[in-house]
């Protein structure tokens, strides 16, 4: 433990117990111990979540949080009592609301997770922020940069925490990747490659083919490669994009070339028409990192020198889905008094949305 730091996780109950014994004891130790105990309980009491939306990602979030002792999902809000009840019954969520307004008004909630379709992110996040709640909002952060700007402005006006739920950023293999990059082991980064392709049988009623739900490969799948490139290389100087549409007018396949002032390129592709390798790589003058299939989920990677020698293999041993790591980052930031994450800042989420806007402009997406 760092000097002056309070314990967390499994060490926290023991620390609290020690403070309680001191606080209950005789003599002059009592006032100080009581103060320490009260501060500790405030900092390390469970983070109480409310969930807006009852879809598959919301269910995965709730299940994954059950692996933590210091997080509790207290309530769920839906557009009907029936769906809220079904979600709560299935996943053990006690309070169930028939509207999002009732959910955000719940005084027993510290943070709200927004898991509705993309076009609803802005309105739902603003609703929660107006109610004084900290917010974690699913990716993509919003439909466009204008919406993202409004969300960020409201969070800063209210002095509340806001973050995009790009869960990949907080997974162990990506944390290790950032360490590798920071160490200089790759040399000068020359290129980033990432793809996200999944096969969806065409169904105009499915959300990924529905323009009104923000459908298409780019917003739903392509956000992962775009965010990955942003993490490694930052904001691009030039964007070139090409695309082919699905019958409903959403993009079925989009490929993106990002160019940077350093001379680096990022080559990204996304499709809803086929199951791709879903891998990613960061290539430098001295070495490269290759992340295995489903790079955006808990995964493994290999660090290989330019002469082909394997320098390191990072093996994935993660248990569970992985969505809980973004929740852990919310809790960490709140306990440190931060209003946004230094790992995924609001300015970066806004920059990613601006890149997304430019891609959409070039490929002709008007929704």
For CATH 3.40.50.720, the residue range(s) in the chain are 47-166
Helix axes 145-158 and 121-130, enclosed angle (nearest 10)? 10
CATH of 47-166 given 3.40.50.1100, 3.40.50.720, 3.40.50.10540, 3.40.50.10140: 3.40.50.720
| E strand or H helix at 226 | helix 223-233
Task: Return averaged pLDDT per consecutive 10 residues of the chain, 367 residues in all.
Answer: 36 49 50 50 79 98 97 98 98 98 98 97 98 98 98 98 98 98 98 98 96 96 98 98 97 98 98 98 98 98 98 97 98 98 98 98 94
Q: Rounded to an integer, what distance in angstroms lies between the CA atom of residue 212 and that of residue 284? A: 41
Contact 354, 145 (CB under 8 A): yes
Closest CA to 21 of 36, 2, 42, 5: 36
pLDDT value at position 24?
Answer: 52
Tokens representing residue 231 in the block:
């993490």
Task: In the chain, count H helices and then E strands.
Answer: 12, 14
Strand partners of residue 81? none
Tokens representing residue 53 in the block:
């939306």
- Cis link prior to 140 (omega < 30° from 0)? yes
Q: Rounded to an integer, what distance in angstroms lies between the CA atom of residue 67 and that of residue 62? A: 10
Tokens representing residue 331 in the block:
């809790």
Tokens representing residue 327 in the block:
């929740």
For CATH 3.30.360.10, the residue range(s) in the chain are 172-317
Residue 211 DSSP symbol? G
| E strand or H helix at 250 | none
Give 293-359 as a DSSP string: SSTTSS--EEEEETTS-EEEEEPP---S-STHHHHHHHHHHHHTT-SS-SSS-HHHHHHHHHHHHHH
pLDDT value at position 193?
Answer: 98
Give 144-181 as a DSSP string: SHHHHHHHHHHHHHHT--EEEE-GGGGSHHHHHHHHHH
Q: Topology of 172-317 in CATH? A: Dihydrodipicolinate Reductase; domain 2 (3.30.360)
Q: Rounded to an integer, what distance in angstroms lies between the CA atom of residue 128 and that of residue 162? A: 10
pLDDT value at position 3?
Answer: 29
Residue 271 DSSP symbol? E
SS3 130: helix
Rounded to the nearest 5 degrees, what angle is found at the Cα of 332, between the Cα atoms of 157 and 104? 50
**Antiparallel, parallel or unpaired: β 310-314 and 301-305:** antiparallel
pLDDT value at position 45?
Answer: 87
Tokens representing residue 205 in the block:
């009623």
pTM, rounded to two decimals: 0.88
Report the first-to-last Cα separation within the chain, whole angstroms. 50
Closest CA to 195 of 256, 151, 261: 256
Give 21-80 as a DSSP string: HHHTSSTTHHHHHHHHHHHHHHHHSPEEEEEE--SHHHHHHHHHHTT-SSEEEEEEE-SS
């Amino acid at each position: 433990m760092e000097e002056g730091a309070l314990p967390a996780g499994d060490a926290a109950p023991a620390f609290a117990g020690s403070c309680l014994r001191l606080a209950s004891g005789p003599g002059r130790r009592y006032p100080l111990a009581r103060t320490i105990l009260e501060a500790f309980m405030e900092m390390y009491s469970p983070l109480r979540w409310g969930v807006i939306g009852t879809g598959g990602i919301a269910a995965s979030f709730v299940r994954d949080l059950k692996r933590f002792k210091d997080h509790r999902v207290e309530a769920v809000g839906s557009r009907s009592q029936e769906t809220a009840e079904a979600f709560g019954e299935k996943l053990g969520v006690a309070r169930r609301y028939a509207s999002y307004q009732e959910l955000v008004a719940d005084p027993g909630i510290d943070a709200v997770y927004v898991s509705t379709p993309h076009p609803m992110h802005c309105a739902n996040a603003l609703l929660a922020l107006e109610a004084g709640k900290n917010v974690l909002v699913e990716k993509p952060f919003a439909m466009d940069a204008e919406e993202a700007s409004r969300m960020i402005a409201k969070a800063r006006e209210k002095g509340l925490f806001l973050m995009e739920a790009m869960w990949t950023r907080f997974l162990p293999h990506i944390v290790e990747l950032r360490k590798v990059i920071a160490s200089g082991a790759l040399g000068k980064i020359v290129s980033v490659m990432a793809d996200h392709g999944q096969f969806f049988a065409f169904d105009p009623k499915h959300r990924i083919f529905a323009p009104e739900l923000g459908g298409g490969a780019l917003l739903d799948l392509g956000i992962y490669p775009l965010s990955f490139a942003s993490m490694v290389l930052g904001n691009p100087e030039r964007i070139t994009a090409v695309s082919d549409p699905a019958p409903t007018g959403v993009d079925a396949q989009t490929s993106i070339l990002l160019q940077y002032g350093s001379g680096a390129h990022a080559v990204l592709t996304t499709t809803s028409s086929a199951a791709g390798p879903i891998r990613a790589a960061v290539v430098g003058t001295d070495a490269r990192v290759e992340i295995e299939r489903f790079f955006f989920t808990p995964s493994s990677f290999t660090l290989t020198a330019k002469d082909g020698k394997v320098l390191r293999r990072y093996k994935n041993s993660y248990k569970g889905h992985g969505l809980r790591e973004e929740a852990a980052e919310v809790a960490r930031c709140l306990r440190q008094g931060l209003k946004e994450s230094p790992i995924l800042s609001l300015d970066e989420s806004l920059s990613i949305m601006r890149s997304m806007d430019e891609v959409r402009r070039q490929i002709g997406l008007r929704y």
